Structure 1
Amino acid sequence: MDAPDGVVSPAGADVVVIGAGMTGVACAYYAARAGLTVTVVDRGGVAAGTTGAGEGNILVSDKPPGPELTLARHSGELWRELADAVDGTLFELEHKGGVVVATAPDEYDALRAFASNQREAGVEAYEVAAEDLGDYEPHLAPDLAGGMHYPQDMQVQPMLAAAHLLRAARVTVLTGTTVVGLPRDAAGAILGVQTDRGLLPTRLVVNAAGVWAGEVAALAGVALPILPRRGFVLVTEPLPALIRHKVYAADYVANVGRGSADLQVSPVVEGTRSGPVLIGSTRERVGFDPTFSLRALRGLAAGAVRLFPVLASASTIRAYRGFRPYSPDHLPMIGADPRVPGLHHAAGHEGAGIGLAPATGHAVAALLTGRPPHVDLRPFAPERHDVHL
């Protein structure tokens, strides 16, 4: 029930987080742990957007040395802490590791060079000769050139993770509530969050709206160049224990970093605790077009069978699609917005949002409470693509 005069919460909150996906949930969780009162608002439901359409990747294997890998390594540590604090079995956190495979000798050489650079940045990466790949994945195609084992890669059930961490945070959650404005005072600082149910008074706002983060930023008169990048996932019938690790082709890393709007398909195959095998990954910039692409789905199936011929006889029970929040330089936008006092951003993670969410939330909570973040946020500065509306 709305409070008098259209104010949802007369007392307000220390901080309002816009977005109940994994990133917003992590921001809320760590802000609450830091002693702030938090309200989370989402026009849909918890994990109803990109989070609910993801595979739950927590990866270091796909990131070259640099700021994103630093963020990912910290996030991996935090995921392990969260599994102890909240009970990781509730959200199916699996320390399964990853295996990246090369289909040709030159691809294997490039993969080994890539891993060598990662090791210098603290990543565990172990070469696997072609004849030894079967020890890791017995059903892999026999003609692969070799691979790399990444024991630090993990997987989580993202919807369960968001729900359980939000419950553990003990914050106020307003779902089915649309943000329509960000009132500001005469100096331009945030005064609150205007929703279709009334006003949420606050001086601190975290924009964790994922693919809609640009729309939220525009309400404050600033631009974030975040665009939707559509992706599909195939789901097979239950095939218990068929695939042990997260397995993907070496060209997946290159496709993540490409800026092309055209369809890109790289096989990514992994089992789940409940049995079905998840098959990704596609990327294309087509706006918010919800159409299911037969070309993309066929590409996924062909890529998966190339790596695991045994899947040729498996039945696909469904497919789903989501929209990843794409950033032009492939780095998320994390931190305080100097253009609008009180406004913070935590968006633009594209397909890495689940994995990077804890480190993002941890850093944002530090800023909200006046502490230095654990990770250098300068490479993620929201204003680096400064465009005034």
Structure 2
Amino acid sequence: MGVDVVVVGAGVVGAACADALSAAGLRVTVLDRGPLAAGTSAAGEGNILVSDKEPGPELALALSSLALWPSLVEDFDIEWDSKGGLVVATGDPTPLERFAAAQREVGVDARWITPVEALEMEPHLTRRVTAAVHYPQDAQVQPVLAAQALLAKVRRRGGVLRPGVAVVGLDARGVHTTEGVIACEHVVNACGPWSGEVSRVLGAPIAIAPRRGMVLVTAPLPPTVHHKVYDADYVGAVASGDADLQTSTVVESTAAGTILIGSSRERVGFDESIRVRVLRELARKAVALFPALADAPVMRAYGGFRPYAPDHLPVIGADPRVPGLWHATGHEGAGIGLAAATGALLAELLTGATPQLDPKPFRVDRPGVLLCA
């Protein structure tokens, strides 16, 4: 028996697409070659941010997603934490001030505060802070719980979830998998860092590559960090396309009392090795921002792969080369935060509804994204 849509990839972006499509009345099957929500989503910090995005299409997508997330998962406990963000400068504050001013012009709640006010919000911050911006809209979720909540809604509507099933081809009969052919009208490639590989299997390659990131996790501590706090240089690292290692200071707590310390970005393919030099750099920068962490015991470290697009914008929409093929990928480290609006936009485009956001910046056939088969 056929379905309307096969969504390939059961991370948070694939789950959000499946949720929006099934809510629109379509019959949906979700495939993943591994367990559900066990890839990039399981390795993320769960950030839902507007603070790190300059005015433009990605910020518009982030603001839309921020508005959608609470209603999408209101019946589930996904450990939603409206902690807010704090971006601090320890040098010349002018670039941060200009960045925040531009964000305010497009609707971001970016509150310029003094070093004294920053220390009142985060008493353990370094005294070298010269200025800061408070972003009350920033939030955090537990990403695996969020993805599972969305997939549970798909299942309630009659959708089918099939973990452990890989896609091996696509033709007029439907999607070819390791467990047979699934007849369908549409296929959504939502495979995160593996979207480039899967796009080739589907006959329409796109330029999505993995970008590795690592995180340190401390043992549970007394209340030490109260917001998502990062140095102003984090914004530059997010927007950079440099293949070499980049680190920037990001520190935040979890509900369990542990402290997450990031972040790193490095294009090393799918190399999963733990790089001690990266962890040392993360620790050094975290202690510079929060000196009280100098003696904090580290409980573990983990890494994951982000789906990197050459122009740092998600790829959302129909592939012009293969009828019925759609892509929802390329969110890099912002997939959790952008997932809700990505699913909504993809469903609007696929069903012919009027999109609430301009889809052109995310189109598949933009320069640098399409590759030759």
Who is 2:89 aligned against? 102
1:328-380 deviation digits (Å, cap 9, x = unpaired)? 00001001112111111000000000000000001111122221221111001
Q: What is the CA–CA distance in structure 2 between the aligned matches of 1:29 and 1:241, rounded to whole Å?
A: 36
Q: Secondary structure at the match of 2:284?
A: helix
Give the match's secondary structure for 2:197: helix
Residue 165 of structure 1, aligned match among 133, 146, 150? 150
Between the aligned partners of 1:308 and 1:232, the Cα distance in structure 2 is 19
Distance change in 2, residues 1:237/1:207 (3 Å): same
Match of 1:378 in 2: 360
1:122 alignment partner, SS class: coil
Q: Contact conserved, 1:221 with 1:388, CA < 8 A, in 2?
A: no
Paired residue for 1:5?
Answer: none
Aligned residue for 1:183? 171
Whether the 8 Å contact between 1:83 and 1:93 is mirrored in structure 2 is no
Question: Partner residue of 1:58?
Answer: 48
Distance 2:371 2:293 in 1: 47
Distance in 2 separating the partners of 1:283 and 1:341: 35
SS in 2 for 1:234: strand
| Residue equivalent to 2:107 | 122
Shift of 1:111: 0.3
Q: Secondary structure at the match of 2:358?
A: coil
Question: What TM-score, normalized to structure 1?
Answer: 0.93
Q: Distance in 1 between matches of 2:64 and 2:270?
A: 32
| 1:36 paired residue among 26, 49, 52 | 26
- Between the aligned partners of 1:253 and 1:286, the Cα distance in structure 2 is 21
Residue range with higher mean Cα deviation, 242-251 or 362-371? 362-371
Partner SS, residue 341 of structure 1? coil
**Aligned AA (1:310):** A
Find the aligned partners of 1:337 and 1:240 in 2 and give their Cα distance. Answer: 50
In the alignment, the residues of structure 1 paired with residue 3 and residue 73 of structure 2 have an alpha-carbon distance, to the nearest angstrom, of 28
* 1:183-240 per-position Cα deviation (integer Å, ceiling 9, x unaligned): 13xxxxxx41110111111011110011111122112322210110000000100124
The alpha carbon displacement at 1:82 in A equals: 2.0
Percent identity, aligned pairs only, is: 56
Q: What is the CA deviation profile of residues 75-116 of structure 1, one whole-angstrom value per residue up to 9, with x for unaligned ones?
A: 0001122243x33xx110111100000111x2x111010000
Contact kept? 1:231, 1:283, Cα under 8 Å: yes
Please point out which of 208, 222, 227 is paired with 2:204. Answer: 222
Q: Distance in 1 between matches of 2:364 and 2:354?
A: 17
2: distance between equivalents of 1:204 and 1:33? 16
Instruction: Tell me, in whole angstroms, the C-alpha distance in 1 between the residues paired with 2:182 and 2:189.
Output: 14
SS of 1:345's partner is strand
Q: Which residue of 2 aligns with 1:6?
A: none
Unpaired runs of 5+ residues, structure 2, are none
2:277 is the alignment partner of 1:277: no
Aligned pairs for 1:1-389 (under 5 A) are: 11-84=1-74, 86-87=75-76, 90-104=77-91, 106=92, 108-170=93-155, 171-184=159-172, 191-384=173-366, 385-389=369-373
Contact 2:73 2:146 survives alignment (8 Å): no
Shift of 1:140: 0.6
Report if the CA contact (8 A) 2:253-2:259 is conserved: yes
Return the letter of the residue paired with 2:193: V
Shift of 1:273: 0.8
Q: Deviations over 1:231-272 (max 9, x none)?
A: 000010012432111000000000111111100000100001
Indicate the SS of the match to 1:141: coil
| Cα-to-partner distance string for 1:43-85 (whole Å, 9 max, x where unaligned) | 001111111000001000000000000000000001122243x
**Aligned equivalents of 1:47 and 1:230: distance in 2?**
18
Equivalent pairs, count = 368
Q: Which amino acid aligns with 1:156?
A: V
Provide the rounded CA distance (Å) in 2 between the counterparts of 1:12 and 1:320. Answer: 39
Is this contact kept in 2: 1:240–1:274, CA < 8 A?
no
CA contact (8 A) 2:55 2:103 kept: yes
TM-score, with length taken from structure 2: 0.97
What amino acid sits opposite 1:275 in the alignment? G
Cα root mean square deviation, aligned = 1.0
**Counterpart Cα distance in 1 of 2:95 and 2:73:** 34
Deviations 1:113-141 (A, max 9, x none): 00000000110001111122111111111
Q: Secondary structure at the match of 1:29?
A: helix
Aligned twin of 1:187: none
Alpha carbons 2:209, 2:308 under 8 Å: kept: yes
